[in-house]
Structure 1
Amino acid sequence: MTADVVRLRPPMHRVNPRARWYWAARAAVLWIVLLVPQVIWWVADSGEAELPHVLVGVAWAVLAAVHLIVMPQWRYRVHRWEATDTAVYTQTGWLSQERRIAPISRVQTVDSERGPIEQLFKLANVTVTTASAAGPLKIDGLAAKDAEQLVADLTTRVGHTLGDAT
């Protein structure tokens, strides 16, 4: 019996386009949280030097705008996934990018998760846990139906695979 050759390569499928809005919404929460101390500082320092407030406010607005506009688009172009009969492929990140592969014979569990924000955007995340010390493979930003189908397909494939997933 010959072993299947599994090569690291770019995965075929993109995540759902709604993932861009999901990532932007999550980032917006961070920027709103970062705005609160600025507002408190501005109120506590009212009438004092205006220039520092303006400079910090402009820097905040520029950084927030760039992050909220560029990051979701960039991540969407990078994030990819694929599940074949022999392996699960993922590619994630935006500033730091990672490409991973897990042979089906090494898969231990397949999970799906939908938090409140994902539910708003009708998205789900799939986590494929393996015997690897590198941790699980995560596929974020799938349409909920696609995630359900992927979990079912992977569960079936893993069930038909010989081996102990270690």
Structure 2
Amino acid sequence: MEATDPDDGTRTVLREPAERVSRRAILMWTVEALVVDVVLLAGQVVWWFVDSSPTRTAHWVVCGVWLVCAAGYTAVMPRWRYRVHRWESTARAVYTQTGWLWQERRIAPLSRVQTVDLERGPVAQLLRLASVTVTTASAAGPVRIHGLDLPVATALVQALTSATAAETDDAT
């Protein structure tokens, strides 16, 4: 993918962002997938008890298919996401690459940044991880970086907040 610099018209190749998320993000995504698995399993159990049909064949088939899919998802998704997820912050923009099946690259110019947030869910707190959300004046929604080490996320939020405050251009 190529991009053209509006200032001098030069063409550059768009490379992957330079920074990786924390390796502990693999564990965070695995635990979060397991939580979803347990909730869905509870739904299976409820269905088992409320269903009054004389045969349980449908239950066994659905449960077997679900177990195979859940195990595959829980085993593959976190590692795949880790290989894809990258981020980078420069003096002019925040650049992310996210996803696993549907992958997305986003560049948010600092002149478009409206808010910078640090978020930590329960699993992330246990693993000393955080997510940074950069809200911009874009219809595509905010730019999110999940699975950062807490000190890295804190420093990124501080740097982006300072850089955004110092930005004089208005890209709106």
Structure 1 length normalisation: TM-score? 0.88
Identical-residue share of aligned pairs (%) = 56
Distance 2:138 2:104 in 1: 15
Q: Could you tell me which amino acid in structure 2 is paired with residue 29 of structure 1? A: V
SS at match of 2:146: strand
Hey, what does 1:124 align to over in structure 2?
A: 130
Hey, what does 2:154 align to over in structure 1?
A: 148
Hey, what does 1:115 align to over in structure 2?
A: 121
Hey, what does 1:58 align to over in structure 2?
A: 64
Structure 2 length normalisation: TM-score? 0.85
Deviations 1:76-126 (A, max 9, x none): 111110001121100111111110001122222211111222101111110
CA drift at 1:159 = 2.4
Distance 2:55 2:129 in 1: 46
SS at match of 1:16: coil
Hey, what does 1:102 align to over in structure 2?
A: 108
Hey, what does 2:144 align to over in structure 1?
A: 138
Contact 1:8–1:100 (CA<8 Å) still a contact in 2? no
Hey, what does 2:23 align to over in structure 1?
A: 17
Distance 2:131 2:156 in 1: 10
CA drift at 1:42 = 3.0
- RMSD, matched Cα: 2.3
SS at match of 1:145: helix
Task: Name stretches of at least 5 consecutive residues in structure 1 with no aligned partner.
Answer: none
CA drift at 1:137 = 0.5
Contact 1:107–1:165 (CA<8 Å) still a contact in 2? no
Q: Residue 29 of structure 1: which of 21, 28, 35 is its match?
A: 35
CA drift at 1:52 = 2.8
Would the alpha carbon gap of residues 80 and 50 (structure 1) be closer, same or farther in structure 2, given more than 3 Å must change?
same
Higher relative contact order (CA 8 A, sep 6+): 1
Contact 1:78–1:91 (CA<8 Å) still a contact in 2? yes
CA drift at 1:46 = 8.8
Would the alpha carbon gap of residues 45 and 131 (structure 1) be closer, same or farther in structure 2, given more than 3 Å must change?
closer
SS at match of 1:96: coil
CA drift at 1:3 = 3.9
